[in-house]
Structure 1
Amino acid sequence: MLNIADTLHRWCREARPFALATVVDVHGSAPLPAGTSVAVDEDGTAIGSISGGCVEGAVYDLCRQVLRDRGAPQRTWFGYSDDDAFAVGLTCGGELDVFVQRVDPAGQPHLATALCEITQGRPAAVAQVVDGPEHLLGATLSVLGGDRAAHGRVADGPGDRVIAGQARALLRTGRTARVDIGGEGDGCAARLSVLVHVHASRPRLLVFGAVDFAAALSQAGRFLGYHVTVCDARPVFATPARFPHADDVVVDWPHRYLERTSVDGRTAVCVLTHDAKFDIPLLRLALSLPVTYVGAMGSRRTHDERMHLLHEEGVTADQLARLRSPIGLDLGARTPEETAVSITAEIIAQANQGTGRPLTRITGPIHRPPRLMNYR
């Protein structure tokens, strides 16, 4: 639903009922991930897309039916269809599991609050029951960033606490996913499958070294949705005018800045200085932190010398194995802009556990959905 959060927020503020069709599971090369939604209001206005056009008409009709009948939510499945040119199906060969429910904003005021946070760029998560007892289907619970209390109700007994806890965990990782709860061990009597829609704060891209490559990388990082910080100890080079696409430009020794700033499992660290007096203390610290990516620019010779110095500084073999150096994928990049694409491509591959190989050289689904999570 987060792909249409702006409009849903407006409809909630206007207390306008709507039908919400959401992809809850994906198999194969489906075009859009789980959590993507289409919504239709009582006037027939439709927003969003779940298939890039293949099944939108059928989903629209189902939304209109759910709105008209005011009945229980429905689940439907769309797969590949090539036998009949006029059949409803996905031409990409994938499969979609779609959950359709009527939403009455007056009965779920917490939903408007969560959508407001999301439209303002603040972290929030909405948990939606997509499988379980009929009286719980479609129920939602929202969790806002920080330590604020959860609102709404999706389960009986202590199940709400379990789901809120898993929603907060997913909010920290920045990932939308389904969680299964119920049974022995978690205090929730009913077995539920809950889709947690997550809007996290922007992940951080820390770029060390105020060089031309950093200017191109900060622009590419901003385009990809990162909060970009450029840091360099030299004030003559580390200026906002040289890095207009960076959110922050910091004058400090790189390792000192990294010591005092906040990072998490989505943070990417790019070291572009290729100067040992900056690189070694910075990389020694970065490789000990729970960040998703650490890369360092330099030649093969620079890399070998850097690895030797880091080993002498006590960096372990496991930590050294995390270092992406020379930085980036082999794209034949020459210019700062091409190099920025090479680096960000490697960051994307690392974050999503991609191979970095050409799709023509590998088999299997092009789009690999996130692993289904089970918290039983």
Structure 2
Amino acid sequence: MFDIADELTRWVEEGREFAVATVVAVGGSAPRGPGAALAVDSGGTVIGSVSGGCVEGAVYDLCVQALQDGESVLERFGYSDEDAFAVGLTCGGVLDIMITPVAAQAPVREVFRSALSAVTSGEPRALARVVRGPAELLGKALLVHPDGSYEGSYGSYGNGSAELDRTAAAEARAMLDGGRTGTLDLSEDGSNCPGGLTLLVESNVPPPRMIVFGAIDFAAALVRAGKFLGYHVTVCDARPVFATRARFPEADDLVVDWPHRYLRGTATDGRTVLCVLTHDAKFDIPLLEQALRMPVAFVGAMGSRRTHADRDRRLREVGLTEEELARLRSPIGLDLGARTPEETALSIAAEIVAARRGGTGVPLTGSGTPIHRDGVRRDATEAAEAA
């Protein structure tokens, strides 16, 4: 739902009644992931998308019906071999979609109002909605804050308990901490054992960071690619003559500092992407020595294969282990035959996406690999916790 927060906020402020259809779970080659949403107001206006067109018409009708009935419903859509023109996903996937009416006096409306306000203000929040369970709980929501406090109550709707609220808030907070959106199963009594309830937790967190080290022409193109992918992009270089706003107008932050010193003092997490474009040993080695020991999502470095071999030797000399060195993607980027800065930025961006989503990087034509993954690759924080 957070992907259409700006428009929904306007609808709430205008007092409109509407129904929201949200992707709860996907299977196979479904085009959009959990959290994708479509909304229809009482006048028939529609915003958003849940499938890129495959089932939009049927979902629209369900939203209109939900506004009339005042009841939340969970619907499954899938491909029908018997009737290719039946409502379904012709790409072969499966979508579970929750439709929730948001009437003017509905208790869930205030929770939605707070959630949408937080999203549009850039404040981290997790919205935890019941998507499987007793009919009287279906579609009900808690809004969870980073400190674990929450707004709303499942129990206030005539079922559930304070323990269920507390357990759901604790689990949603953990997902918020990791910036994750997905489902979790709980028992109706609030225990963590999978039972009669499934919650969809949508996390709103600040965009992930991309830090580009080296204020060169290739960096300017990579900044644009990073912004297109939704990253908060920082450019860092120790040379003030190169790290200028005139050269990098689209960067969110410009930093003049030694790269390793800046990295040591700035905030990173398991979603952070580090791109080292300086290919100068005096910058690269102290920076990579530190970066490869941090729980970030991606560390890549530009340079020829000869530069990489020299870099690898120097990093071994300063004590990096085989496991740490294996995290380095160098030369950075996928083999696209790139020449220009823009083509090179595309190559780097493609490798970042492949690393994030678990892609192979090979052409889809003739490969037999899945077009859409059922899930994303765990980020570095999750992997460290699992270890």
Give the alignment's TM-score, normalised by structure 2.
0.90
Moved more, 22-31 or 186-195: 186-195
CA drift of 1:326 comes to 0.7
What's the counterpart of residue 25 of structure 2? 25
Q: CA deviation at 1:365?
A: 3.3
Measure how far apart 1:4 and its partner are. Answer: 1.7
Which position in structure 2 is the counterpart of 1:228? 233
Does residue 156 of structure 2 align to residue 151 of structure 1?
Answer: no
Q: After superposing the two structures, state which structure 1 stretch, 238-247 or 162-171, moved more.
A: 162-171
The alignment partner of 2:183 has SS state of strand
Aligned partners of 2:185 and 2:194 also within 8 Å: no
Which of 276, 281, 289 does residue 276 from structure 1 map onto?
A: 281
- The answer to whether the aligner puts 1:118 opposite 2:119 as a matched pair is yes
Between the aligned partners of 1:166 and 1:361, the Cα distance in structure 2 is 42
Are the structure 2 counterparts of residues 185 and 46 from structure 1 closer, same or farther at C-alpha, using a change threshold of 3 Å? closer
Distance change in 2, residues 1:305/1:105 (3 Å): farther
| TM-superposed deviation, 1:190 | 5.8
DSSP-derived class of the 2:44 partner? coil
Matched residue SS, 2:345: helix
Gapped regions of structure 2 (runs ≥ 5): 155-159, 379-387
Deviation at 1:135? 2.1
- Letter of the structure 2 residue corresponding to residue 77 of structure 1: R
Alignment match, 1:141: 142
Tell me what 1:353 maps to.
358
User: Structure 1 21/94 Cα, relative in aligned 2: closer, same or farther at 3 Å?
Assistant: same
| Distance change >3 Å, CA 156–CA 184, structure 1 → 2 | closer
The aligned residue for residue 382 of structure 2 is: none
- Quick one: structure 1 residues 75 and 332, their matched pair in 2 at CA, closer, same or farther if it must change by over 3 Å? same
- In 1, distance between residues paired with 2:152 and 2:367? 44
- Per the TM alignment, residue 194 of structure 1 is displaced from its structure 2 partner at its CA by 0.7
Amino acid across the alignment from 2:250: H
> Which residue is 1:289 aligned to?
294
1:88 aligns with 2:71: no
User: Residue 196 in 1 paired to residue 180 in 2?
Assistant: no
Deviations 1:290-324 (A, max 9, x none): 10000011111111111111111111111111000
Contact 1:205 1:228 in 2 (8 A): yes
Matched, 1:250 2:255: yes
Residue identity matched to 1:111: F
168-177 or 237-246: bigger deviation: 168-177
2:310 equivalent among 282, 294, 305 = 305
How many corresponding residue pairs? 371
Report the CA distance between 1:122 and its aligned residue: 3.0
Q: Does structure 1 conserve the Cα–Cα contact (< 8 Å) formed by 2:213 and 2:276? A: yes
CA distance in 1, matches of 2:190, 2:87: 42
Among all aligned residue pairs of Structure 1 and Structure 2, give the percentage whose two residues are the same amino acid. Answer: 59
Q: Per-residue displacement from partner, 1:78-118 (whole Å, max 9, x unpaired)? A: 11135435422222121111222222354231321110121
Give the partner amino acid of 1:258: L
CA 220–6 in structure 1, closer or farther in 2 if over 3 Å, else same: same
Report the alpha carbon displacement of residue 35 of structure 1 after superposing the two structures with TM: 1.6
Match of 2:98 in 1: 99
**Counterpart in the other structure of 2:384:** none
- CA distance in 2 between partners of 1:296 and 1:372 (Å): 21
User: Partner of 1:128 in structure 2?
Assistant: 129
Contact 1:21 1:63 in 2 (8 A): yes
One-letter amino acid matched to 1:65:
Q
Per the TM alignment, residue 189 of structure 1 is displaced from its structure 2 partner at its CA by 9.4
Look up the SS of the partner of 1:135 in the other structure.
coil
Shift of 1:148: 6.5
User: Comparing 60-69 with 6-15, which one deviates more in the overlay?
Assistant: 6-15
Q: Quote the residue 1:45 is aligned against.
A: 45
Structure 2 counterpart of 1:354, one-letter code: G
- 1:184 Cα offset (Å): 9.3
Which letter does structure 1 place at the counterpart of 2:325? L
- Note if 1:14 corresponds to 2:20: no
CA–CA distance in structure 2, aligned partners of residues 189 and 305 of structure 1: 52
Distance 1:178 1:372 in 2: 16
Q: Which has the higher contact order (CA 8 A, sep 6+)?
A: 1
Change (3 A) 1:303 1:113: same
1:209 corresponds to 2:209? no
The 8 Å contact of residues 19 and 63 in structure 1, kept in 2 or not, is answered as yes
TM-score, with structure 1 as normaliser: 0.92
Contact kept, 8 Å, 2:164 with 2:188, in 1: the verdict is: no
Give 3-state SS (helix, strand or coil) of 2:319's partner.
Answer: coil
Query: Structure 2: how far apart are the matches of 1:42 and 1:126?
Result: 24
How far the C-alpha of 1:185 sits from its partner, in A, is 9.2
Q: 1:185 to 1:7 in 2, by over 3 A?
A: closer
Corresponding position of 1:4: 4
AA aligned to 1:117 is A
Which residue of structure 1 aligns with residue 341 of structure 2?
336
Deviation of the 1:142 alpha carbon: 1.1
User: In structure 1, what is the equivalent of residue 383 of structure 2?
Assistant: none
Cα 1:184–1:289 change in 2 (3 A) is farther
Letter in 1 for 2:197: L
C-alpha distance in structure 1 between counterparts of 2:5 and 2:328, whole Å: 37
Residue 272 and residue 372 in structure 1: after superposition, are their counterparts in 2 closer, same or farther (change >3 A)?
A: closer
